Amino acid sequence: MTELHDLIATFAAIGSTGDGGVCRLTATPLDKEARDLFLREISRRGLLPRIDPIGNMFGVAVLAPASKDVVIAGSHLDSQPTGGRYDGCYGVLAGLLAVQAVRDRALDNPGTARRNLAVANWTNEEGARFQPSLTGSSVFAGSLSLEQAYACKDGDGVTLGDALAMIGYRGASPMEFEPVRYVELHVEQGDLLEGEAADIAAVSGAWMTRKISVVFEGEVSHTGPTPMGRRRDALRAAARAIEALYSEVERANAGAHAAAARISVFPNSPNVVAGRVRVWFEVRHDDEAVVLAISDRFLQRIEKEAGAIGVQISIAADEQRAAPMLDPAGFDMVRSVAGDLGMKALALKTVTGHDALAIQKRIPSSLIFVPSQGGLSHNPREFTAPEALDKGYEVLVETLWRMVTAEG
C-alpha cells in the first residue's frame, strides 16, 4: 500500500539518525514535530482530534452517532535512541489508514456500524527518556495516576508533565467516547514469524518481566594512591553483579532472557574510584516462578558479593509485570481474519512490552505481529518487507470492521 509506505518514510525523516534509524524521544522537539504531523493527518482525513492530559492523541471516526462506544487501534510514535522506523510508528500509521478505510466502508454500507472507531498515539511507550515505559497507556488504563506520570523525571531532572507542557501536548480534550476494545498492529521484534515463514501472529499474552534498579554505595577515593585493599569500589561491585545476573540465568537453564542495559556512575571521573553506581537489570520468562527464582537468587548473591568488598546495595525500583493474557475473543478473531484472507498465522506470546498489555487492564485488547527480518529491533537496521506491512494492514482493517459491526 503506497500511502502507508510513504507515511512511514515521511515520519522516519523526523529524528533520522542518518543510518536508517530514528531517535525520537518522548516530549522532545522531534516528538513534537511527529505529533504535529500526526495531528495534521488526523484533521486532513476528517477525524475528530483529541489529546488527553498525558498527551495521548486520538483521531475519532464517528461511525455510529447513536453510540458512545469506540474501538481503538494504535501504537506509539516515540522511539529508542537507536530506534528503527517501524517500531510503534507502523501501528499508528496503519491504524490511521485503517480507521479511514473502515469509515469509508461504513459509509458505503449505512447502518452496519454499531460502534465508533479511533486511532491512537500513546505517550512514552518506550520509556527511553522517562520511566516507567507504557506511561500514557497505563494512565489511560487507570493503573498509573496522572500525578505519578507527570512526576517521572528524565536524566536532567525534567518532569514528564513539564516536558509535555513545553511542547504543547499536555492536553485538555480527552476522548468523550467509551472505549470497548483495543487493537495494536506491531512488528514482531523477534524471528519466530520469519522462521516459520508465517504472515501474521495473533498474540495471546506476554512473558513476565521483573525490572530491578540496584544502587551500589561505595566510597570515592583517588584511583592512584588509594591502597587496593582500602578501596570501596561501587563500579567493581556493579560489574560483578552484571556478570552474576548472566550466571544465574545460565544456571537456571530455563530459557529466561535477562539484561543489564543501563548504568549510571558517580562521579564518573577517570581519576576517582566510583562512589555510587546504579544499574538497571531485568529478567523475562513466560513462567512467573522462573523469573522470581532467578531474580531472588541474584539479589541475595550480589548483596553478599558487594558486601565482601565494602559496598552496600539498595533497591531503587523493583517493578514486577505479571504475565498477562490478552483478550481470547480478539485473539480468535485475528486468527480467523488471517485465515479468511489466506494468510499463514501463528499463535505466540510476546517477550516485549506493548501498550496493548497495559490497556488490557481496562478493556479487551488484541495484538497483531508482522515479521521482523532477522528479529532485529531497537536498531537502525530494523526491517519489515513492504508486502509484510501490507498484509498486517489488511488484517487490521478486517479485524476492526468486524469489531465495529459485530452484534453484542
Q: Is 257 within any annotated ligand binding site? A: no
Q: Is 285 within any annotated ligand binding site? A: no
Maximum distance among all alpha carbons in the chain? 83
How do strand 116-121 and strand 57-61 relate by DSSP bridges? antiparallel
- What single-letter amino acid sits at 210? R
- What single-letter amino acid sits at 64? A
Number of Cβ atoms within 10 Å of the Cβ of 304: 11
Q: Is 378 within any annotated ligand binding site? A: yes
- Do residues 312 and 204 lie in contact, with contact meaning Cβ atoms separated by under 8 Å? no
Q: Is 191 within any annotated ligand binding site? A: no
**CA–CA gap between residue 145 and residue 160 (Å, rounded):** 13
Task: Kindly tell me the burial class for residue 66, based on how many C-beta atoms sit within 10 Å of its own C-beta (0-12, 13-18, 19 or more).
Answer: exposed
Cα 20–chain centre separation = 20
* Three cell numbers written together for 273: 574510584
**C-alpha distances in angstroms, 336 versus 134, 203, 242, 339?**
29, 13, 44, 5
Beta carbons within 8 Å of 340's beta carbon, 6+ residues apart: 398
- What single-letter amino acid sits at 39? L
Q: Which residues are known binding-site members for Zn(2+)? A: 76, 87, 126, 186, 378
Q: Which residues are known binding-site members? A: 76, 87, 126, 186, 378
